[in-house]
Amino acid sequence: MSQYKIEAGTGQHIGDRHEQQDRVGLFAAPHAPGYMMAVVADGMGGKSGGALAAEQVVRTAKQLFDEFYPGNDVQQLLENILNEAHTIIKLTAVSSEKEPHSTFVALVITPQQEAIWAHAGDSRLYRFSGPNFSEKTRDHSYVERLVDEGKILPEEAKTHKLSNILINVLGSTNVSPSISVGKYVNLKVGDSFLLCTDGLWHYFENTELSAAVAANTPRQASELLIRKARDRGTPRGDNCTFAIIKLIEPPPEVKNYTAEKIRRAV
């Protein structure tokens, strides 16, 4: 019996924008029991263009995960999703005369108690241990580079006038996207993950996110986080999209048999 049960959910709000350009998905692998995937994409590129790009990321992720088998390389799967989605988004730009782009963040949980993730852009993955923040991905953004170079402080990044400039996205016609990969092993009850677009993380501290996820079911946490994000972001709140994955105690085994007295054969 599994050492934990996976409890997951998604949340989404259009914010104060005219269109929802984020997409999110939770998938099981039909040929690989025990594997699950969460993926979040933040589309950019004007009216409908960003939505098309983000939709393509999620659609590509599902298609390739449907073809995944035990023994296949998870990191290679994530890289294939990024590269194929990037190529199709570029082709969409040619046919639609738009300039669609998208971020990408995905997580795969395996039956071997592993969590493997990858991202491009500024959509993030957070990992929590119980109520404690453990780690998060590093944004592929201009302000993050300024932080790395010591030109601004981390707390200045959120309010910097160039905070929306990304240096690594899917769909760019100038440069192919790069992928950052992370891994955590020996998963246990109490571990949890949050994948989200900047329309959520921009309004919260790490400790607030970890506390909200730990103290609630994914659905309850989604309602709480959306409500808080709207309170803090109105009237200029961005699209807000996220997925929550929690590892909880498995239900007790239920006996589905009855014992009867054995009669002596004559």
- Domain residue limits, the chain: 5-248
pTM: 0.92
Helix axes 206-214, 218-233, angle to 10 degrees: 150
Half-sphere exposure of residue 253: CA atoms within 13 angstroms, side-chain side: 5
- Any idea which fold 5-248 has? Phosphatase 2c; domain 1 (3.60.40)
C-alpha distance from residue 8 to each of 38, 162, 174 (Å): 9, 34, 37
Q: How many residues does the structure list for the chain? A: 266
Tens-place pLDDT, residues 198-242: 999 999 999 999 999 999 999 999 999 999 999 999 999 999 999
Tens-place pLDDT, residues 229-240: 999 999 999 999
Confidence check: pLDDT of 254 > 80: no
